[in-house]
């Protein structure tokens, strides 16, 4: 799926059922997420992440953080409790608009539509923390690799990049042999015009090469799996990667 199509798809999801599109619990589909519960999950996730970093003896500044693929701002609001300045970027205008409307932190949080295959709106070495979760898996591996490289560009030398991505599944390996045009036509028929959520992954060796090529190194891998009973298949397996610039 090209970025333009990806943007249209997620813009529609953001307009129709934004919280479920981010946390796809089947019991919450159809705008059944409680707003307070949704944002509390983001605050809890960021607190756990920062505690985990401390346990790894990774100490970072608390000046600026980036949430890539911010959606309605679930993790941005969590980051705002710990960082002076938080940027959220997303490919979907509907998501960015909603995040801005629901933002209780004023100018400390700012949101931008990013529809390009890079982070050209962000300068080099700007953030102490770059974080993304449940995002890279929804784009093609080509774009995921490009964004990982950009994360290493915009993080500060003493900062850290943390991103989650599933491991490449057997189903994905099969799909890679199918021409893109044929695969797109099949998805259009199967979805009956509804927005779809694709799933892709990267092998750990592929992630390591991508990070090294961007001037960084993976300093830690945390085994990751969705904890929801609604998701128990191979595409839910993967890692959360912790990467830093090489000194």
Domains of the chain, start order:
3-245 (3.40.50.150)
Backbone angles phi, psi at 240, to 5 degrees: -105, 125
Q: How many CB atoms lie within 10 A of CB 216?
A: 22
| Of 4 and 102, more confident | 102
Average pLDDT on 173-184 reads: 60
Q: What is the pLDDT of residues 23-39, one digit of tens each?
A: 988 899 999 999 999 99
Give the chain's length: 247
According to the model, what pLDDT value does residue 5 have?
87
- C-alpha 171/C-alpha 138 separation (Å) is 15
Which two tokens mark 79?
Answer: 């980051």
Adjacent-strand bridge partners of 167: none
- C-alpha 165/C-alpha 132 separation (Å) is 9
The average confidence (pLDDT) of the chain is 89
Q: Give how far Cα 188 sits from Cα of 10, 19, 221, Å.
A: 15, 24, 36
Q: Which residues of 147-174 are buried (b: 16+ CB within 10 A; e: fewer)?
A: bbbbbbbbbbeebbbbbbbbbbbeebee
Q: What is the pLDDT of residues 48-105, one digit of tens each?
A: 999 999 999 999 999 999 999 999 999 999 999 999 999 999 999 999 999 999 999 9
Q: What is the pLDDT of residues 93-152, one digit of tens each?
A: 999 999 999 999 999 999 999 999 999 999 999 999 999 999 999 999 999 999 999 999
According to the model, what pLDDT value does residue 32 have?
97
Edge-to-edge order in the sheet of strand 155-166: 109-113, 85-90, 64-68, 127-132, 155-166, 237-245, 216-225
Q: What is the pLDDT of residues 204-229, one digit of tens each?
A: 999 999 999 999 999 999 998 755 43
Question: Mind giving me the DSSP string for 42-90?
Answer: HHHHHHHHHHHHHHTT----SSEEEEET-TTTHHHHHHTTT-SEEEEEE
Residue 175 has pLDDT above 90, yes or no: no
- C-alpha 106/C-alpha 122 separation (Å) is 20
According to the model, what pLDDT value does residue 171 have?
66
According to the model, what pLDDT value does residue 237 have?
76
Adjacent-strand bridge partners of 110: 87
Backbone angles phi, psi at 57, to 5 degrees: 60, 35
Backbone angles phi, psi at 70, to 5 degrees: -70, -20
Q: Give how far Cα 77 sits from Cα of 130, 200, 236, 241, Å.
A: 14, 27, 25, 22
Average pLDDT on 168-174 reads: 62
């Amino acid at each position: 799926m090209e970025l333009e199509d990806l943007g249209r798809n997620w813009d529609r999801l953001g307009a129709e059922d934004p919280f479920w599109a981010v946390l796809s619990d089947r019991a919450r589909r159809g705008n059944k997420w409680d707003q307070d519960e949704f944002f509390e999950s983001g605050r809890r996730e960021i607190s756990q992440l920062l505690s985990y970093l401390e346990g790894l003896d990774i100490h970072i500044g608390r000046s600026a953080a980036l949430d890539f693929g911010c959606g309605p701002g679930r993790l941005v609001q969590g980051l705002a409790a710990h960082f002076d300045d938080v940027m959220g970027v997303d490919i979907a205008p509907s998501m960015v608009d909603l995040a801005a409307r629901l933002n209780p932190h004023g100018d400390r949080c700012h949101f931008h539509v990013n529809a390009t295959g890079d982070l050209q709106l962000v300068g080099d070495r700007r953030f102490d923390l770059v974080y993304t979760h449940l995002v890279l898996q929804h784009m093609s591996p080509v774009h995921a690799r490009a964004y990982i490289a950009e994360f290493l560009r915009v993080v500060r030398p003493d900062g850290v990049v943390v991103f989650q991505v599933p491991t490449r599944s057997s189903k994905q390996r099969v799909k890679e042999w199918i021409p893109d045009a044929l695969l797109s036509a099949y998805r259009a028929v199967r979805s009956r015009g509804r927005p779809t959520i694709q799933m892709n992954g990267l092998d750990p060796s592929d992630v390591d090469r991508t990070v090294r090529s961007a001037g960084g190194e993976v300093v830690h891998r945390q085994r990751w799996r969705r904890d929801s009973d609604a998701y128990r298949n191979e595409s839910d397996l993967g890692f959360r990667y912790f990467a830093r610039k090489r000194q």
